[in-house]
Structure 1
Amino acid sequence: AAVAFIARQFPGITLRKADASYQSSNGIGHVYFRQQINDVDLDNADVNVNIARDGTVFSFGSSVYTGEVPSEAPNVDSLIRPGQALERVRSTFDLPGGLSNVPLNPDGAGRFKAGEPAGLEQPSKIELVYYRPTPDTVVPAWRVETDTGDAWLTSYIQADGDVDNILSVSDYTSHSTFSVFPWPAVGPLDSNITTVANPENVLFSPFGWFTQNGTDYTDTRGNNALAQLNRDGTADIENEGRPQGGVNRAFFFPIDLARQDPLDYQDFSTAQLFYTANIVHEVFYSLGFTELAGNFQENNFGRGGSGGDAVILNSQDGSGLNNANFATPPDGARGRMRMYIWDYTTPRRDSSLDAGVVIHEFGHGLSNRLTGGRRNGRCLTIFESRGMGEGWSDFYATALRVKGSDTREVDYPIGEYVYGNPRGIRAYPYSTSLETNPLTFTNINELTAVHAVGHIWNSALYEVMWNLIDARGNSDELYPVYDDQGVPTDGRWLMLKLVTDGLKLQPCNPSLLQARNGIVDAEVALTKGRYSCEVWRGFAKRGFG
């Protein structure tokens, strides 16, 4: 019944029956199929058919690819060698040495099994497959499986292009579980607490979130961040208290926001901050805030830059109220994020639970490290550039919140949870409507506060982003998907990339117009001016044209 159903439902598509069918105790049979193109598996293009007791189709699910397909199978002799793909995985994730010299034994058509090098649990496996880098394209790829014991990685290396092009990485190993407000929700106003398993992206955090220079932790310490309670508001990060996840790194802590003061959910606060900040680290990495660019990591895995600078994350910091801040020394010295309790509501609220505030503060670390280079932490120190520092941080906090289903009529405030006001902490929400948010470049002369300058700056960035979304579409991707030219495939991620690249291009202590020019130049460098009109129109609407 399942095979006949597949033939009717997916004409013209080749599907092979996978060796994984079974019948559940409820009488439902489960039959699985894998799509093939030219007799080569297309990974993660599958169909499951569920058969009722009477033999009829009860339900089915599908992730088949229906776009254009290659006319013939890839010629293995014209592709990068499987050994090159294995070596690329080894060097990227700092796996035990010697993989490049390990003999590869044929294990079927397009499949190879490596000899067992020291340090791996079992021989690596390499297989030629097709892979979908975007929903509308397929490319030949080497699927490389490597098992170190601590991590069992499945990596996809594009086989007909640059060996450096790692398309995707996943890890079979269960590393951690968090009960948190899940990314990309900004906090309690956007979602309920959810159990999230293995949120780490090993492409950006090769050994996960809890390993630091060979030491595995079961509390909120790792290569990207050191999170702890800091009620005393001191510089002591080792004796203030970190939540324990145990050997399974399971961070489950009770919380009742309607009744509890933040002091009653300290472990939840620190775990939430650790979770959010690690994801922000990975998102920023995906946009180009890498080791060479000066990001925050204890171990840089030989990729350049200076290590020893995981971000210090202080939850419920006792040195202040109704605020948060980020200190950004040069690369090689740890940044420090202080998250305060806010007392505008009853019960009081904790800024560590508001992802928008966490993104905003981490954004200061990014903008300070990228402007003027990673060794110079003093390039956003005059009035306009300090103001734009606030604006860039608001931009990341806003853009990472925008949903694929949003339209340009959707407005976004900042800090509405901690402030207890749906309008947020700025004078106006971010909007493409000049009636809702009338701020333009001409308002700069009236201002004396850096946050107000940043409000105007991000109002312009928000306009440009929506022009790019109109031109290139939008998505709910958690990380940017890049086309073969290195351009994000949707407008929101394109703007996030342009803003990040613009920080690298602009001078030390830029003016507003110099920062604008950095983004204009970034667009030309990345897309050769394909979207220059969208960029200029957005800036011009807010008086920056």
Structure 2
Amino acid sequence: MTQLIDKRNLDYDRLTEVADAGAFLDETARVAESVHHTLIAEGSKVNRFTGHLTELRVEGAPALAERARDGRPDGEYIARAKEYLASVAEAIGFASGEPAEFEADPKVMATSEGLRVVSLQQVLNGIEVWGMAPKVWLREDGAVDRVVGDTASVGVDVPTMPAVPPEAALTVAAAEAAEPRTVESPFGTDELPALDVSAGFSRLTHQALNAQPMTFDQGPFDEVIPARLVYLYMGDEVRLAWSFRFSRDRGAAQYHALVEADDRTADPAAPQILYFQDLTSHVIAGRVFRRNPAESTFDRAPFPLPLTDYPTEPLSKPLPGFPGDWTTRTNGHVATAGNNVLAVDGATRRSVEIDVDPEGNGVFDPEPDTPEQFVTNIFFFCNYMHDFFMTLDFTEEHGNFQTVNVTGLGKGADPVHAFAHPGPVIGTANMATPADGSAAVMNMGLVARSGRHTANDADVVFHEFVHGVTNRLVGGLHDANGLRELQSRAMGEGWSDFFALTTRNFFQDRERTVVGNWVVDSDQGIRQRPYDDRYPGGFGDIGKGPGELPDGLDYTKIHNVGEIWCAALMDMTRRIGAALDSKQRGYRVAWQAVVDGLKLTPKNPTLLLSRDAILRALRDLAGDKVTEAEYPAVRRAAWEAFARFGMGFDAFCPNASLRGCRAGTQLPPQGHED
């Protein structure tokens, strides 16, 4: 993914414009007196670009009134979160009387230990303030525990009506999205041809209110084009902008554009693009290969697999409808199509279908290295990951991928549409994840230089599937669009590598530390270095290139920065296993902490914000996955892993860009709460 145009002044330091850090913390103390409980703010947890806190810890906040045993409706948590954020807005960075308005994702997430997470979107005049989407953590009784994520000051004098017609803005944005481009991936490069947008675009829906979205026809792109107004915080100013999204080449290329819409444009008929980002994740991604043709035999596996085949621990309580059938029987046939996954041949758009006997028995038995086998294998891999993450509480209510949600929670109608293409595809492998209720699309293709197919490699399919999980859990169910800043996108790659490796390493005596080695036919895989205990990069290297680092290391690229995050998570997993004297328990605790941490993580996080979410999730596992006596050693193990990679207690970054990352190796002081 590439930031093609970004006219924000990311070097802007608002904190120096409004107050020094000491005065900022004094304001937090004043607000604490007004709300009659403790607020804890740290100067290191300020986004200097916005001048606002990215984390406000809360102690002693009042609980909501007692509820009956059947629990508390989401609406109560949402109302409490919005009310509370308004009451402490000045502690976060808003000036007195400055608007601090938020809309909530209607679905409240819950971690495996019961912490409720309300996802908010900052708005003004009903218009989204782009990229400013904090989360409020609440205990089950409704007491606020923490406010995390980015907010920004937006003055009341910003325009509410566009001076630029949406058609004029769309013309400019579409021309940029239609440009020919070279798409780089670990497998090589692909060329996207230019598209002809000269015919223009017609409105399909119109705005009843200025803040409402509209849509335009797709023209030469894959899908209709959504458009809406947003406020873009630029640093030293705030601009009203038109927001557009484009998809092309079967979703392999996706773009987001923000085009000026206010009266500051020099020419309303030819406005400028303020921000243009390539959203595409160009990464590596019956009888089946359970890993890949080099590391597993081509054998029968039951569809679905028994839960005992998974590395996660048995569920403490049953989940309705789980584990469900992977296939659906129709007129004596089953196909690579079920509630979780629809897998088809990318050329024919057909699934693999077989006959079953009267009792419903049948076997997908394709020949290796055939289109039918690729489709069957991608179907197996995607269903495996669906069930794996179900056991870690990525369920229907949290936005998982299913056609029908038997609990009635979540939106359903969004299985993974997995395409196994007979030849190469753009980026070789990719996955697009829209909001809950819209199907995710995965594309797997042939690696030209090796002649091997990504649908046969668990590294690739698992990696891509995890992109869907992280986009939904961090982004929220409303738009699954929470990993857009550079550090955030890098972590998307790191989380994906982490699960691709650890889900397999659990069962292996020898730890596997390279990704994609089979599919590219190279022992080195597709990353700069193996993810072993000698991995060289760290937080302080972010933003530095070969001229500043030894041995050709380069941390100016998204995938490479993601390596630092994956290496830290793998080290954390090893250390937790050592602290518990059990590799298996270490993996299980780490996985649950990472998934719960994703739910707690606000949109567009830094590595340090995501670190803190994992540490808090670990704390909540004390008394369950780990005993109270074991917890101090587990916590220390996690902190030591992050410190090993420069993400210690004294690490700092001014925002979620790749600029200004300062490594720290200290552990937290005695008595510090995560």
Q: Check the 8 A contact 1:322/1:343 in 2, yes or no.
A: no
Q: How many angstroms apart in 2 are the aligned matches of 1:538 and 1:468?
A: 9
Q: How many angstroms apart in 1 are the aligned matches of 2:355 and 2:530?
A: 42
- Calculate the aligned-residue CA RMSD, in Å: 2.1
Structure 1 residue 411, shift from structure 2 partner: 4.5
Q: How many angstroms apart in 1 are the aligned matches of 2:611 and 2:529?
A: 22
Q: How many angstroms apart in 2 are the aligned matches of 1:438 and 1:306?
A: 43
Q: Check the 8 A contact 1:225/1:312 in 2, yes or no.
A: yes
3-state DSSP of counterpart to 2:542? helix
Counterpart of 2:363 (choices 235, 250, 262) is: 250
Counterpart of 2:541 (choices 423, 431, 443) is: 443
Match of 1:470 in 2: 578
Match of 1:523 in 2: 618
Answering whether residue 534 of structure 2 is matched by residue 429 of structure 1, we say: no
Match of 2:472 in 1: 369
Q: Which amino acid counterpart does residue 513 of structure 2 have in structure 1?
A: Y
Residues 207, 226 of structure 1: CA spacing in aligned structure 2 closer, same or farther, 3 A cutoff? same
Counterpart of 2:417 (choices 302, 312, 319) is: 312
Percentage of pairs with the same residue: 35
Q: Check the 8 A contact 2:506/2:587 in 1, yes or no.
A: no
Q: Check the 8 A contact 2:513/2:531 in 1, yes or no.
A: yes
Counterpart of 1:327 (choices 411, 432, 440) is: 432
Counterpart of 1:180 (choices 279, 288, 309) is: 288
Q: Which amino acid counterpart does residue 243 of structure 1 have in structure 2?
A: V
Q: Mark the runs of 5 or more structure 1 residues left unpaired by the alignment.
A: 1-177, 232-238, 256-261, 476-488
Q: Check the 8 A contact 2:474/2:598 in 1, yes or no.
A: yes
Residues 459, 506 of structure 1: CA spacing in aligned structure 2 closer, same or farther, 3 A cutoff? same
Query: Deviations along 1:401-440, whole A, 9 cap, x unmatched?
Result: 1144536xx45100001111011000111111x2xx2111
Structure 1 residue 249, shift from structure 2 partner: 3.2
Structure 1 residue 444, shift from structure 2 partner: 0.7
Query: Deviations along 1:235-279, whole A, 9 cap, x unmatched?
Result: xxxx52221221133111122xxxxxx5xx100110011011101
Q: Which amino acid counterpart does residue 336 of structure 2 have in structure 1?
A: T
After superposition, residues 359-398 of structure 1 pair within 5 angstroms as 359-398=462-501
Structure 1 residue 295, shift from structure 2 partner: 0.2
Q: Check the 8 A contact 1:404/1:474 in 2, yes or no.
A: no
Structure 1 residue 189, shift from structure 2 partner: 2.1
3-state DSSP of counterpart to 1:228? strand
Answering whether residue 448 of structure 2 is matched by residue 343 of structure 1, we say: yes
Q: How many angstroms apart in 1 are the aligned matches of 2:644 and 2:391?
A: 30
3-state DSSP of counterpart to 2:430? strand
Q: How many angstroms apart in 2 are the aligned matches of 1:424 and 1:208?
A: 34
Structure 1 residue 309, shift from structure 2 partner: 0.4
Query: Deviations along 1:309-358, whole A, 9 cap, x unmatched?
Result: 0110001265725621110100000001111110222xx10000001111
Structure 1 residue 199, shift from structure 2 partner: 3.2
Q: How many angstroms apart in 2 are the aligned matches of 1:499 and 1:423?
A: 27
Q: How many angstroms apart in 2 are the aligned matches of 1:462 and 1:327?
A: 26
Answering whether residue 316 of structure 2 is matched by residue 221 of structure 1, we say: no
Q: How many angstroms apart in 2 are the aligned matches of 1:405 and 1:359?
A: 17
Query: Deviations along 1:441-470, whole A, 9 cap, x unmatched?
Result: 122121322111111110111110100111
TM, length-normalised to structure 1:
0.58
Answering whether residue 575 of structure 2 is matched by residue 458 of structure 1, we say: no
TM, length-normalised to structure 2:
0.47
After superposition, residues 54-69 of structure 1 pair within 5 angstroms as none
Answering whether residue 585 of structure 2 is matched by residue 490 of structure 1, we say: yes
Counterpart of 1:211 (choices 328, 341, 346) is: 328
Query: Deviations along 1:144-172, whole A, 9 cap, x unmatched?
Result: xxxxxxxxxxxxxxxxxxxxxxxxxxxxx
Structure 1 residue 525, shift from structure 2 partner: 1.3
Q: Which amino acid counterpart does residue 287 of structure 1 have in structure 2?
A: L
Match of 1:16 in 2: none
Match of 1:416 in 2: 517
Structure 1 residue 303, shift from structure 2 partner: 4.3
Residues 330, 198 of structure 1: CA spacing in aligned structure 2 closer, same or farther, 3 A cutoff? closer
After superposition, residues 39-78 of structure 1 pair within 5 angstroms as none
Q: Check the 8 A contact 1:201/1:208 in 2, yes or no.
A: no
Q: Check the 8 A contact 1:200/1:209 in 2, yes or no.
A: no
Structure 1 residue 542, shift from structure 2 partner: 1.1
What count of residue pairs does the alignment treat as equivalent?
Answer: 329
3-state DSSP of counterpart to 1:191? coil
Q: Check the 8 A contact 2:382/2:461 in 1, yes or no.
A: yes
Q: Check the 8 A contact 2:505/2:512 in 1, yes or no.
A: no
Q: Which moved more, 1:194-203 or 1:276-285?
A: 194-203
Q: How many angstroms apart in 2 are the aligned matches of 1:281 and 1:500?
A: 14
Q: How many angstroms apart in 1 are the aligned matches of 2:412 and 2:452?
A: 34
Q: How many angstroms apart in 2 are the aligned matches of 1:492 and 1:278?
A: 21
Q: How many angstroms apart in 2 are the aligned matches of 1:491 and 1:317?
A: 40
Q: How many angstroms apart in 1 are the aligned matches of 2:578 and 2:522?
A: 30
Counterpart of 1:507 (choices 580, 602, 606) is: 602
Q: How many angstroms apart in 2 are the aligned matches of 1:402 and 1:226?
A: 28
3-state DSSP of counterpart to 1:253? coil
Q: How many angstroms apart in 2 are the aligned matches of 1:308 and 1:194?
A: 32
Counterpart of 1:282 (choices 387, 395, 401) is: 387
Q: Which amino acid counterpart does residue 603 of structure 2 have in structure 1?
A: C
3-state DSSP of counterpart to 1:226? strand
After superposition, residues 143-154 of structure 1 pair within 5 angstroms as none
Residues 205, 229 of structure 1: CA spacing in aligned structure 2 closer, same or farther, 3 A cutoff? farther
Answering whether residue 640 of structure 2 is matched by residue 542 of structure 1, we say: no
Q: Which amino acid counterpart does residue 534 of structure 1 have in structure 2?
A: A
3-state DSSP of counterpart to 1:445? coil
Counterpart of 2:509 (choices 406, 412, 417) is: 406
Q: Mark the runs of 5 or more structure 2 residues left unpaired by the alignment.
A: 1-285, 308-318, 545-554, 623-627, 649-674
Residues 181, 344 of structure 1: CA spacing in aligned structure 2 closer, same or farther, 3 A cutoff? same
Q: Which amino acid counterpart does residue 524 of structure 2 have in structure 1?
A: R
Match of 2:200 in 1: none
3-state DSSP of counterpart to 1:292? helix
3-state DSSP of counterpart to 1:490? helix
Residues 411, 378 of structure 1: CA spacing in aligned structure 2 closer, same or farther, 3 A cutoff? same
Residues 473, 230 of structure 1: CA spacing in aligned structure 2 closer, same or farther, 3 A cutoff? farther
Q: How many angstroms apart in 1 are the aligned matches of 2:565 and 2:430?
A: 20
Residues 519, 252 of structure 1: CA spacing in aligned structure 2 closer, same or farther, 3 A cutoff? same
Q: Check the 8 A contact 1:227/1:315 in 2, yes or no.
A: yes
